[in-house]
Amino acid sequence: MEWVLAIPHEQAFKRIEEPWGGAKTSYLTGVKEILEAKYGPISFTRLYFGEEFCERALSTGKALEKAISTAEERGWGFTYVTPYVTETGLTKVQQLLDILAQTKPEAEVVINDWGVLDWVTEHHSTLTPVLGRLMNKIIRDPRMPDSLRNSPDQTVIHKFQTSYLAGGEMKGLLDQYQVGRVELDYPPQGLDPNLPTWGYDISLYIPYGVIMTGRICLMQSWGLDAKEKFKTTGSCPQKCRLGWLEMSDLSGRVKKDKDWQIMQKGNTVFYRQNKGFLAEILTEAEKIGVNRMIFQPEPI
């Protein structure tokens, strides 16, 4: 198993020295205990750096260069993570990928946008594209009823465990783009037991899974006048880096679950895996051949 430490932005570089947060009672310390109980001391060998969910939070070129040099100092591999983008965002990503190709031409690029994938393939063939988890459309909805998650009818549950990535036509298309690795979350209903037949190397993110994301950002709008709220252009104070929202549903449609907590950070809603569910994920990951585990102390 390859272990990856994912750092979204320059302000989180402190995580490289202390990925688990340092506090004895913290959630991440509990994650560490679960991982080490199964695998022994975790030794990271690759750095993921970059913003996965928002083009307005893209790193600077200097921050990218610093991340590359930080990985090289440790003898780690390097992967740059990119978000879904508008045309404006695509231009910014292209500039950053030019820097990456000049500085670290053998690096990987996690791609969550078809336009970025097409551009990388055409302009920087030395970079290795990886299909990001936002390109994988497996249902991650926490409203999924327990009766479905635990259905004895495997034909039914399998429909919710697979995605278009399992199809031969998609495999042929991604082969043209030189994509050999795809990235996944572990959804509430579990992963496809036939995952090895998809034909890719598989990466799995822990301990945060994505429920939904979009360009409208609640946190960006805090404190603004009504006419200024929920805009998708202009400057952003990046309040997403200051805290989280723990979410609940008074209607009862999304019930509290022993396996996860639902949280929002920036423009994205996540489920944070609780200890028992995380232990289950690790067991299932081994069974279905996941060969890269991506640990995110914080995803935005």
- Give the pLDDT confidence score for residue 104 in this predicted structure: 97
Say if residues 180 and 200 touch (Cβ distance below 8 Å).
yes
Number of H helices, E strands in the chain: 10, 12
135: alpha, beta or left? (left if phi > 0; alpha if psi -120 to 50): alpha
Say if residues 46 and 2 touch (Cβ distance below 8 Å).
yes
* Number of Cα atoms under 13 Å in the Cβ half of residue 43: 5
> What digits encode the pLDDT tens for the residues 97-132?
999 999 999 999 999 999 999 999 999 999 999 999
Say if residues 209 and 273 touch (Cβ distance below 8 Å).
yes
Domain boundaries, the chain: 2-210+272-295
Task: With H, G, I as helix, E, B as strand and everything else as coil, classify residue 219.
Answer: helix
- Give the pLDDT confidence score for residue 90 in this predicted structure: 96
Structurally, at CATH architecture level, domain 2-210+272-295 sits in: Alpha-Beta Barrel (3.20)
- 73 token code pair: 């100092």
Q: What residues of the chain score a pLDDT lower than 50?
A: none
pTM of the model: 0.92
Say if residues 222 and 187 touch (Cβ distance below 8 Å).
no
210 phi and psi angles, rounded to 5 deg:
-90, 130
In 10 A of CB 69, how many CB atoms? Answer: 13
- 15 token code pair: 């995580």
- Give the pLDDT confidence score for residue 25 in this predicted structure: 67
